[in-house]
Amino acid sequence: MATGGQNYYELYRRSSIGATLTDTLDDLITNTHIDPQLAMKILANFDRAIADVLQDKVKARLTFKGSLDTYRFCDEVWTFLIKNVSFKMDNGTQAVVADKVKIVSCSAKRPGEGN
């Protein structure tokens, strides 16, 4: 999505808050309360807002260990599938364990930026 000359990824639309927003917008369109064009603008603003907030406001860090099962690089997007993953936060809280984790990584560079 492009907003003000900046591209943002639609990755967070599949999160629980993104899916809830999408469902709500679908209901509003179905009941003719808003136009589909407005819903698309709302989703573009969501993409921008969530990316900006995560970049500017979230300072927590974590480390993780696991077994790399699969990795891919396609269309400037890395995808990693990791098995038996253990996550630890900086604040020393108890580790969180997961059987499988999918990590999707996209370039933070703006179009036209050099290396």
pLDDT tens, residue by residue, 35-70: 999 999 999 999 999 988 988 998 888 899 999 999
- At 91, the pLDDT band (50, 70, 90 cuts) reads confident
Helix or strand run (H / E) with residue 48: helix 36-56
Q: What is the CATH number of domain 2-56?
A: 1.10.287.190
Helix or strand run (H / E) with residue 114: none
What pLDDT score was predicted for residue 39? Answer: 96
CATH 2.30.18.10 placement within the chain:
62-106
Share of the chain above pLDDT 90, in %: 57
pTM: 0.65
Domain 62-106 has CATH 2.30.18.10: yes
**3-class secondary structure, 85:** strand
